[in-house]
Chain A
Amino acid sequence: MRFLQMLMMTLVLAAWGVRAEVPDYQVFPAKGTQLLLWVASERGRAEPEVLAARKLADQGVEVWSLDLLSAYFLPQLSRSMDAVPPQDVADWLRSALKGDRRVTVYAVARAAVPVLRAAALLEPAQRKQLGMVLMYPNLYTVAEALAAPDYLDLGALNGLRVRVLQPRRSAATPWLSGLVDHLKVYGAKVDPVIMENLREGYWGRETPTEFEMAESQRMDGLLMREIKILGRK
Chain B
Amino acid sequence: MKQFLAGLAMSLVLTAHAYAAGFETRAATPAPALKARDMSGAPKTLADYRGKVVLLNFWASWCPPCLREMPSMERLRVKMEGRPLEMVALASAEGPEDVKAFLAKMQLSFPIWLDADGSNTKRWKVFALPTSFLLDAKGRVRYVLTGPTEWDEGEALKIIESMLAEQAVTSK
Contact = CB atoms under 8 A, between A and B. Distances in A.
Contacts of A145: 124-127, 131, 133, 144, 146
A143 B19 contact: no
A1 interface: yes
Contacts of A76: 10
A145 B118 CA distance: 14
Contacts of B29: 146
B114 interface: no
B127 A175 contact: yes
Q: Which of A144, A148, A199 has the most chain B CB atoms closer than 10 A to its own CB?
A: A144
A32 interface: no
A206 B65 CA distance: 12
Interface string B54-69: 0000001011100000
B109 to A, nearest CB: 26
B21 interface: no
A75 B6 contact: yes
A1 B19 contact: yes
Given A145-B127, A146-B125, A147-B125, A4 B5 contact: no
Given A146-B26, A147-B125, A174-B118, A7 B12 contact: yes
Interface residues of B, number: 35
B139 to A, nearest CB: 14
B16 interface: yes
Main secondary structure of the interface of B (DSSP, over half): mixed
A130 B123 CA distance: 36
Given A18-B5, A75-B9, A145-B146, A8 B16 contact: yes
Contacts of A186: none
Q: Which of B1, B6, B8, B32 has the most chain A CB atoms closer than 10 A to its own CB?
A: B6
A73 interface: yes
B2 A15 contact: yes
A11 interface: yes
Q: Which of A18, A147, A169 has the most chain B CB atoms closer than 10 A to its own CB?
A: A169
B125 A149 contact: yes
B160 interface: no
A207 interface: yes
Interface residues of A, number: 32
Contacts of B13: 8, 12, 75, 77
Interface in A7-37: 7-8, 11-12, 14-15, 18-19
Nearest to A148: B125
Nearest to A4: B16
Contacts of A73: 2, 6
Contacts of A18: 1-2, 5
Q: Which of A148, A173, A174 has the most chain B CB atoms closer than 10 A to its own CB?
A: A174
A75 B7 CA distance: 8
A64 interface: no
A14 B5 contact: yes
Q: Which of A8, A143, A172, A207 has the most chain B CB atoms closer than 10 A to its own CB?
A: A8
- In order of increasing CB-CB distance, the 4 nearest A-B pairs are A174-B118, A11-B9, A143-B127, A8-B12
27 contacts: A1-B19, A4-B15, A4-B19, A8-B16, A11-B5, A12-B9, A73-B6, A75-B9, A76-B10, A140-B127, A145-B125, A145-B133, A146-B26, A146-B29, A146-B124, A147-B125, A148-B125, A149-B125, A169-B60, A169-B62, A171-B126, A171-B127, A172-B127, A173-B118, A174-B92, A175-B127, A199-B62
